[in-house]
């Protein structure tokens, strides 16, 4: 445990020194709130079930921009970088388990996502009067489940890329289309039926649905929770099975 905590502390320091990761984790979601909530305001609308545009943006952005970025960009690119540079190969000689190495990155991602979420909620509330979570305990539970489920998925996927370049290409190609058609940035009701049909097969869609349900209405979406829980149960087992040090 002591070695794991030291590793996690080192990883947090490295994360804080990465301007790109800091920007996309903290600044990018807040800029989206300021721009788009400024454009559409927060007047209650029947299109959003009586909620305002800013109210709907906050939980959608938490799932798609905050959790999505840490899951599909930060974590797999860092693992790919360490595998390509030989860092993981050196760790192989240590007593640390592969899960401890990835667990450190998961902890860094979780801490970053928490602080980014708090900042975004505060900005939305102060600037546009956006709603606060309707059910705080369910919101926290849904937030953690979304993080761990998506982190587990990308941990598994990161085992099948050989370099930082291929990891960046793969995860950008997966993440950015998902970001736009999962309902996190553009409400699903505004998308064509064909895109909504595709969205039903995307894991980020269920993260968004879970987040919006607990944040806006204080309701637990059991289908979305089952998908995230399934990822959390299955993906780590497969990820350890296919883990490669180099």
Helix (H) or strand (E) holding 223: helix 222-241
List the Cα angle 84/69/117 in 5-degree steps: 135
As a whole number, mean pLDDT of residues 108-112 equals 94
What's the CA gap between 208 and 95, in Å, rounded?
38
Q: Please indicate whether residue 92 or residue 225 has the higher confidence score (pLDDT).
A: 225
pLDDT score of 225 more than 90: yes
DSSP class of residue 122? H
Residue whose entry in the numeric block shows the structure tokens 């982190």: 151
Residue positions counted in the chain: 246
Are 220 and 206 contacting, i.e. CB atoms less than 8 angstroms apart?
no
pLDDT of residue 83: 83
The confidence band for 246, taking pLDDT boundaries of 50, 70 and 90, is: confident
State mean pLDDT over 225-242: 93
The more confident residue out of 92 and 197 is 197
Q: Is pLDDT at 118 greater than 90 in this prediction? A: yes
d(C-alpha 7, C-alpha 224), whole Å: 33
Phi-psi region of 183 (alpha: psi -120 to 50; beta: other; left: phi over 0): left
Q: Of the given ranges (37-51, 59-73, 112-126, 137-151), which has the lowest mean pLDDT? A: 37-51
Count other C-beta atoms under 10 Å from residue 84's C-beta.
17
What average pLDDT does this structure show over 181-185?
Answer: 93
Q: Is pLDDT larger for residue 228 or for residue 161?
A: 228
d(CA 32, CA 65): 9
């Amino acid at each position: 445990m002591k070695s794991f905590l030291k590793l996690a502390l080192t990883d947090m320091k490295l994360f804080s020194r990465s301007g790109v990761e800091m920007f996309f984790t903290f600044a990018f979601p807040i800029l989206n709130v300021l721009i788009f909530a400024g454009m559409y305001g927060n007047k209650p609308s029947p299109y959003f079930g009586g909620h305002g545009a800013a109210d709907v943006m906050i939980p959608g952005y938490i799932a798609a921009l905050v959790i999505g970025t840490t899951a599909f960009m930060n974590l797999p690119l860092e693992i790919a970088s360490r595998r390509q540079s030989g860092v993981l190969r050196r760790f192989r000689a240590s007593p640390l388990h592969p899960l401890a190495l990835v667990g450190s990155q998961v902890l860094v991602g979780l801490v970053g996502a928490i602080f980014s979420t708090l900042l975004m909620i505060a900005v939305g509330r102060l600037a546009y009067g956006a709603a606060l979570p309707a059910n705080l305990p369910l919101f926290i539970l849904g937030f953690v489940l979304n993080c761990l489920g998506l982190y587990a998925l990308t941990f598994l996927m990161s085992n099948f890329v050989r370099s930082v370049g291929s990891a960046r290409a793969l995860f950008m190609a997966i993440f950015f289309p998902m970001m736009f058609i999962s309902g996190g940035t553009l409400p699903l009701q505004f998308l064509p039926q064909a895109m909504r049909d595709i969205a039903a097969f995307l894991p980020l869609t269920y993260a968004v649905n879970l987040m919006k349900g607990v944040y806006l209405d204080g309701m637990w979406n059991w289908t979305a929770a089952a998908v995230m829980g399934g990822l959390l149960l299955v993906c780590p087992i497969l990820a350890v099975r296919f883990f490669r040090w180099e």
